[in-house]
Structure 1
Amino acid sequence: MSRKRSQARRHAVQAVYQWQMAGQDVGSIVDQFLAEQDVKSFEVPYFQDLLHGVPRHLTELDELLKPALDRAIESVDPVERAVLRLGVYELNFHPEVPYRVVINESVELAKVFGAEQGHRFVNGVLDKVAKEIRKVEMKAKKA
């Protein structure tokens, strides 16, 4: 697991949160992060992919989350919502990243930015979604 990729996820969750809360243009958020952060410390293309991908595929991501949630996505804590959307985006659009890495990274982000027990919620939801999206990969791990 690359430290630079982890940093890209960390910045992306903050940026997705900002986008959700302020409704700000994604391009402006990218420009802001690139101006404020040390671009050598994280994978900029991956950050950009995550940040552009979540809004672009929002309806699809929320539909993938819906069966795993015990409430409407809009009523999920905004930080956890950003983490979940990012995690589902990676599970769905980055099959080269093992599902366990996606879930572990998402749990860590929820621990850093979310509510006290938010990481448990994120873990449970993404585990359910991974069982649907990554069925083949999960079966191969068990064999």
Structure 2
Amino acid sequence: MSAREAVKPRSGGRSARRRAREYALQGLYQWLVGGHDVAAIEGHLMESEGFDKADVAHFREILHGATESADSLRAEFARFIDRDLKELSPVEHAILLIGVYELKHRLEIPYRVVINEAVELAKSFGGTEGFKYVNGVLDKVAAALRPDECGRGTEGGRRD
């Protein structure tokens, strides 16, 4: 997928927060592949058809938070990937940045929701088996970042 063949967020029964993640994925993809300015990416995406149905605050938080703290986010998942970072597809890379950002900084979102949302992004926009890879990596990151929450199974937190 080229930067011009951007991920188009899907319409339908998607929540505003899921749409925000889809637009953040598109922005992170453009940032990773094209090295575009984050403010320019944000402005372009906010003008996209359907953006008005996204959670704008969550979109901005993910896009800016993930780009500003990309090195620390990568450090969290690098130990759990089986290849060099440069060998990750840009879509999987962007999804992992989103997932790790939410695991680290959005503690009110249950880890299972974070992982599920990332898996859904990978199923929609990633490679054929990419969702399994994303699931495995984020499951390990969640156990490292949120050991208490992960240890108690299905308890805790609100649904997103």
In the superposition, the TM-score normalised over structure 2's length comes to 0.85
Change (3 A) 1:111 1:142: closer
Query: Shift in Å at residue 64 of structure 1?
Result: 0.2
Query: Shift in Å at residue 138 of structure 1?
Result: 1.3
Output the amino acid matched with 1:52.
Answer: H
CA distance, structure 2, for counterparts of residue 17 and residue 46 of structure 1: 17
In the superposition, the TM-score normalised over structure 1's length comes to 0.94
Query: Shift in Å at residue 71 of structure 1?
Result: 1.1
CA distance, structure 1, for counterparts of residue 153 and residue 128 of structure 2: 31
Q: What is residue 122 of structure 1 aligned with on the other side?
A: 134
CA distance, structure 2, for counterparts of residue 142 and residue 13 of structure 1: 27
User: In the TM superposition, what are the counterparts of 1:18-97 in structure 2 within 5 Å?
Assistant: 18-97=30-109
Structure 1 residues 9-67: Cα deviation after superposition (integer angstroms, max 9, x where no partner)? 01111110011011001000110011113343110011000000111101101100111
Aligned-residue Cα RMSD (Å) equals: 1.4
Unpaired runs of at least 5, structure 1: none
CA distance, structure 2, for counterparts of residue 25 and residue 134 of structure 1: 32
Q: Which has the higher helix share?
A: 1
Q: Does 1:135 align with 2:135?
A: no
CA distance, structure 1, for counterparts of residue 73 and residue 153 of structure 2: 25
CA distance, structure 2, for counterparts of residue 142 and residue 89 of structure 1: 21
Greater CA drift, 39-48 or 20-29 = 39-48
Select the structure with the greater relative contact order (CA < 8 A; seq sep ≥ 6): 1
Query: Shift in Å at residue 75 of structure 1?
Result: 1.0
Output the amino acid matched with 2:82.
Answer: D
CA distance, structure 2, for counterparts of residue 107 and residue 142 of structure 1: 18
Unpaired runs of at least 5, structure 2: 1-13, 156-160
Output the amino acid matched with 1:38.
Answer: G
Output the amino acid matched with 1:54.
Answer: A
Query: Shift in Å at residue 130 of structure 1?
Result: 0.3
Pairing partner for 2:122 from 101, 110, 119? 110
Query: Shift in Å at residue 142 of structure 1?
Result: 6.4
Output the amino acid matched with 1:117.
Answer: E
